[in-house]
Amino acid sequence: MAAPIQSAATASAAPDLDLRVHYYNKVLTPEGVTREASYEETLSRRPRHVLIARVLPKNVSDIHDDDAKGTQHKHFNHVLIPRHIFLDNQKTRIEFIDTAHKEVIAIPASEYSNVNFDGSWENAFYLLDPQLVKSIPLSSRTSAVPGARWRERENNANFQRILWDEQKQIPLIVESGDKAGTFFRRMEVRLQNTLRGDLPWLNTKGYAQKEYADFLD
């Protein structure tokens, strides 16, 4: 029998994890153009804390580093700065920790959509809300990962497949798309063997405290 999927109330029981997450999207436009995009992020999960950072290729990273050495900080790029999602008195908060400029940028709930944050603690901590995962039927598809089970469903011409690790409380693969092949999305999670010790939210003493409004024109 599969282990029960944890709810948000038992999030503290979910293990600490460091992950590398690969995202892939493909769309076929009405004009017959196929567009593909992929990127990677790292994710560190600790009790009441999640840190997500974009993985930049070396050539892009060099450009970002050069910009960071500038004397002015006119723009706020929420994609390039690691985002820290945490629980504060049972409320979900998000801030960005800019180690290059030694700044912490707080984001009010009214601006969540501008930094591509849906406000969901479950989606941040588990990558998918466990209650949503639980609503998808178990599949007969065989998993090669001990303790992980496939869940699948189809709705008209669309499909969704999830390989959920019951012990780690995290999806290992998430796929969705349509049978016509007009769109396909895949998220693949790789567990890291060791946990990082340099957690940025523990090392912000002396950082300037900024707000999202400080970067608006």
Helices (runs of H) and strands (runs of E) counted in the chain: 3, 11
Q: What is the pLDDT at residue 11?
A: 54
79-132 tens-digit pLDDT: 999 999 999 999 999 999 999 999 999 999 999 999 999 999 999 999 999 999
- Asked whether the beta carbons of 130 and 7 are under 8 A apart, the reply is yes
- Amino acid identity of residue 69, one-letter, is K
Tell me phi and psi for residue 215, to 5 degrees.
-105, 5
Q: Could you state, in order of their start, the residue ranges of all structural domains in the chain?
A: 16-58+77-215
Q: What is the pLDDT at residue 66?
A: 56
Question: What is the total residue count of the chain?
Answer: 217
152-183 tens-digit pLDDT: 999 989 999 999 999 999 999 999 999 999 99
Residue 133: pLDDT band (50, 70, 90) is very high
Q: Point out which residues pair with 185 in neighbouring strands.
A: 25, 176
Scanning 135-200, the segments in alpha helix (DSSP H) are: none
Q: Point out which residues pair with 24 in neighbouring strands.
A: 38, 186
Percent of the chain with pLDDT over 70: 88
Nearest to 83 by CA among 114, 51, 126, 123: 51
Distance between CA 154 and CA 179 in Å, rounded? 10
pTM equals 0.87
What mean pLDDT comes out for the span 43-67? 83
Q: What is the CATH number of domain 16-58+77-215?
A: 2.50.20
